[in-house]
Amino acid sequence: MALILKNGAVFLHIPKTGGNWITNVLRELDLIETRAAQKHADIDHFFAVPKQRKALLKYAFHELYHPQKKKQKPFMFCFVRNPLCWYESWFKYMSQPSRQWRFWGKEQGIYKWHPNSMLNGIGHTDFSQFVRNMSTKRPGYVTEMFGWYTKPHIDFIGKQENLVEDLVTVLKTMDLDFNEEFVRNFGKIGVSPEPRKKIIWPDELKKEIALHEYAGMIRYGYHTTLKELGLDIDRLIQISP
């Protein structure tokens, strides 16, 4: 579920971006007040909580911001990751015997919604085929999904690749009292094992998906990956509408 911290801030957990690690760290630091909505609620689903949770939102609004500031929302933060790495991470996770490409929730509704429900039914034992299935059904899906969490309401966007440092940064940004050394030494959580069949990106497929995810690669600062693939970023920017 989305987390409301004791200072009223809200952590939105995007799947496969280090959120389980963050949740465990926040729990051990005793910074969590409660949970609200679904585990992976985006901004819209967080604010669409049922009536009995309105009190939690009032708590968040009141505790984080002094009434004189007249703020209308709590401080909100989330983490993203390189979109291409997200494909690999989801494949590893869903390839586990305990997952077996299970279905996740429904695309519509509040209670059974899951951000990855639109990927139901496209799993495959071959990574390349999974990527093609995903691209056929929802090209640019990862960028689209990240966008659900990174609307103007969001105050801080960290990166999974810089998980520890960015969590330390956001906790300091909120002026929280915490043990920084404890955070830096906290062990790994929720790392999926390597699948039986090695993940291999055919060059052309990787370039194709990078172009599908181009907006996200640029927006969230993964320009280097585009350059490594030999994609002319300056030219792409010039021809963008």
pLDDT tens digit string along 162-185?
999 999 999 999 999 999 999 999
Q: Which pair of structure tokens corresponds to residue 237?
A: 């920017």
pLDDT tens digit string along 11-47?
999 999 999 999 999 999 999 998 887 889 999 888 8
Give the residue among 26, 2, 10, 5 at the shortest CA–CA distance from 163.
26
Give me the half-sphere count of Cα atoms (radius 13 Å) on the Cβ side of residue 73. Answer: 13
**CATH number for region 2-239:** 3.40.50
Give the residue among 4, 143, 14 at the shortest CA–CA distance from 78.
14
The residues near 175 (Cβ < 8 Å, ≥ 6 apart) are none
Q: Name the least confident of 41-45, 192-196, 207-211.
A: 192-196
Residue 52 confidence (pLDDT): 44
Residue 113 confidence (pLDDT): 87
Give the residue among 17, 150, 10 at the shortest CA–CA distance from 83.
17
Q: What is the mean pLDDT of residues 128-143?
A: 96
Helix orientation angle between 19-28 and 163-173, rounded to the nearest 10 degrees: 50
Length of the chain: 241
> What is the residue whose two structure tokens read 């729990």?
27
Q: Which pair of structure tokens corresponds to residue 114?
A: 């899951």
* Cα separations in angstroms, 142 against 52, 158, 216: 32, 16, 8
* pLDDT over 90 at 83, yes or no: yes
* Cα separations in angstroms, 228 against 22, 80, 161: 30, 20, 17
* pLDDT over 90 at 70, yes or no: no
- Helix, strand, or coil (residue 161): helix
Q: Work out the angle at residue 184's Cα, subtended by the Cα atoms of residues 179 and 8, and round it to the nearest 5 degrees.
A: 50
pLDDT tens digit string along 152-161?
989 999 999 9
The DSSP symbol for 238 reads H
Find which of 39-53, 65-79, 92-106 is predicted with most confidence, using mean pLDDT. Answer: 92-106
Q: What is the mean pLDDT of residues 100-127?
A: 89
The DSSP string of 185-203 is TPPP--PPPPPSSPP---H
* pLDDT over 90 at 192, yes or no: no
* Cα separations in angstroms, 57 against 45, 134, 139, 156, 180: 13, 35, 34, 19, 28
The residues near 237 (Cβ < 8 Å, ≥ 6 apart) are 218
Give the residue among 147, 104, 118, 195 at the shortest CA–CA distance from 14.
147
Give residue limits of the domains in the chain: 2-239
